[in-house]
């Protein structure tokens, strides 16, 4: 499968714990996005990387959230001191820098986080 992969697919954690999610984009895609989706809503943008540089962060990304993309390949999203309001689907998407389909974002299956 050459699509975007995310790990884990599901995570249940207790309030106050830290969690880390991983996203592996399509290999030749230099742009990577994180979104969050709560029940009944469309995805909301969290942050954007071009190669290893984090170029934009949403106001939704509080100080408890941090994202990295070392070496411009996979990315991680960490949430510290989780709260029940963090329960959501976390989606990763990647996009090529140029070429025929450079406008199209390819989404992974998401990581569903439940904070108890």
Partner 1 sequence: DAKTTQPNSMESNEEEPVHLPCNHSTISGTDYIHWYRQLPSQGPEYVIHGLTSNVNNRMASLAIAEDRKSSTLILHRATLRDAAVYYCILATTGANSKLTFGKGITLSVRP
User: Does residue 5 belong to the site contacting partner 1 (CB under 8 A)?
Assistant: no
User: Does residue 77 belong to the site contacting partner 1 (CB under 8 A)?
Assistant: no
Residue 43 or 79 with smaller CB distance to partner 1: 43
User: Does residue 99 belong to the site contacting partner 1 (CB under 8 A)?
Assistant: no
Instruction: Report yes or no: 116 and 14 within 8 Å, Cβ to Cβ.
Output: yes
Pairing mode of beta strands 88-95, 31-37: antiparallel
Among 4, 32, 61, 113, binds partner 1 (CB under 8 A): 4
Question: Least distance to partner 1 from the beta carbon of 106, Å?
Answer: 7
Residue 67 or 93 with smaller CB distance to partner 1: 93
Site for partner 1 in 40-69 (CB under 8 A): 40-45, 48, 50, 55-56
Among 11, 29, 32, 33, binds partner 1 (CB under 8 A): 33
């Amino acid at each position: 499968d050459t699509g975007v992969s995310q790990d884990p697919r599901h995570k249940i954690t207790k309030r106050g714990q830290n969690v880390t999610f991983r996203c592996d984009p399509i290999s030749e895609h230099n742009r990577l996005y994180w979104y969050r989706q709560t029940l009944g809503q469309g995805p909301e943008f969290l942050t954007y990387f071009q190669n290893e540089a984090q170029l934009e962060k949403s106001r939704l990304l509080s100080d408890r959230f941090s994202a990295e993309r070392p070496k411009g390949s996979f990315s991680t999203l960490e949430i510290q001191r989780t709260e029940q309001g963090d329960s959501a689907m976390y989606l990763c998407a990647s996009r090529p820098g140029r070429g025929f389909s450079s406008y199209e974002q390819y989404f992974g299956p998401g990581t569903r986080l439940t904070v108890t």
